[in-house]
Amino acid sequence: MNSSYHRRVPVLGELGSATSRQLEIFTSPSIMIPLGSTEQHGPHLPLDTDTRIATAVARAVSARLDWPVAPAIAYGASGEHQSFAGTISIGTEALTTLLVEYGRSATCWAERLAFVNGHGGNIAALSRAVALLRSEGRDAGWCPCTSAGADAHAGHTETSLLLHLSPAYVHADRSLPGNGAPLSDLLPSMRRGGVAAVSPIGVLGDPTTATAAEGERIFAEMVDDCVRRVARWAPGADGILR
């Protein structure tokens, strides 16, 4: 039956809730794909922190630009956290392959792909994968969830964001200050022994100063930045939207 339902419901919001028929009617949609990780975020934040942030940013951008949001990719390159329970890392090579094959499949019907990245460890894979997709004539790009002055991991920035986005999942009573040294100073030790080599609790920064109000401000900054990048659509050589 040619249901009027398929004619009247726009393909906006959650891609996973749309039907194939709706996607056929709304020809060549652009889609937004949140990319996160499943990794330790100290004793106070959930394993899916990066995925939660990337998904929330993508949904907020979608609301302003009318792009459907695909189900999040919740696994990334998180080897630096592997010594902590709960971390599931697929590594850079596997993630690169996943993103390339994802892009090749999705661009069979989608006009444009924007990956919204919530985890710094994914950058190498994203850059390689999106550059390859673009060399094949597929219109893909990616944008980071960034904020000026952000600390590195499970500290003030991410804890503030989660207090704003998912306060029920923040164990504030377990928050402890981690290593607050600049990331550039920590990287040599982290390359040898991961995050545990510089922070036994898995925190880089100070979550005890986090507030929901600060999280709201940071989130708005991230969304505005991503909206600007996606609307402008000027991918660099590595696929990042400028």
**Domain residue spans in the chain?**
4-232
Of residues 179 and 18, more confidence is placed in 179
Residue 85's closest CA among 36, 37, 43? Answer: 43
Question: 46 falls in which pLDDT band (50, 70, 90)?
Answer: very high
What pLDDT, in 10s, does the model give residues 1-11?
444 433 334 44
Residue 190's closest CA among 124, 144, 181, 146? Answer: 181
Cα–Cα distance between 162 and 9 in angstroms, integer?
32
Cα–Cα distance between 123 and 31 in angstroms, integer?
19
Taking residues 52-58, report their average pLDDT.
99
* C-beta neighbour count of 148 within 10 angstroms: 7
What phi, psi does 158 have (nearest 5°)?
-65, -35
Token pair, residue 191, equals 């390359």
Percent with pLDDT over 70 in the chain? 94
Please say if the pLDDT value at position 178 is more than 90: yes
Q: Letter for the amino acid at 16?
A: G
What pLDDT, in 10s, does the model give residues 205-223?
999 999 999 999 999 999 9
Please say if the pLDDT value at position 23 is more than 90: no
Token pair, residue 225, equals 């930045």
Q: At what angle do helices 91-106 and 123-135 cross, to 10 degrees?
A: 40
Which residue(s) pair with 144 in the sheet?
Answer: 117
Cα atoms in the 13 Å half-sphere on the side-chain side of 233: 11
- What's the helix, strand, coil split of the chain in %, to 5? 50, 15, 35
Q: Letter for the amino acid at 70?
A: A
Residue 218's closest CA among 33, 57, 63, 38? Answer: 57
Question: 24 falls in which pLDDT band (50, 70, 90)?
Answer: confident
**How is domain 4-232 classified at the architecture level of CATH?**
3-Layer(aba) Sandwich (3.40)
Cα atoms in the 13 Å half-sphere on the side-chain side of 206: 6
Taking residues 174-201, report their average pLDDT.
98
What pLDDT, in 10s, does the model give residues 99-115?
999 999 999 999 999 99
Q: Letter for the amino acid at 195?
A: V
Taking residues 24-34, report their average pLDDT.
84
- Residue 11's pLDDT is what? 44
Q: What is the pTM of this model?
A: 0.94
Residue 36's closest CA among 83, 87, 106, 105? Answer: 87
Strand segments (E) across 60-139: 112-117
Please say if the pLDDT value at position 137 is more than 80: yes
Taking residues 52-78, report their average pLDDT.
97
- Residue 86's pLDDT is what? 99
Is the Cβ–Cβ distance between 84 and 196 less than 8 Å?
Answer: yes
Mean pLDDT, the chain, integer? 94
Which residue(s) pair with 153 in the sheet?
Answer: 204
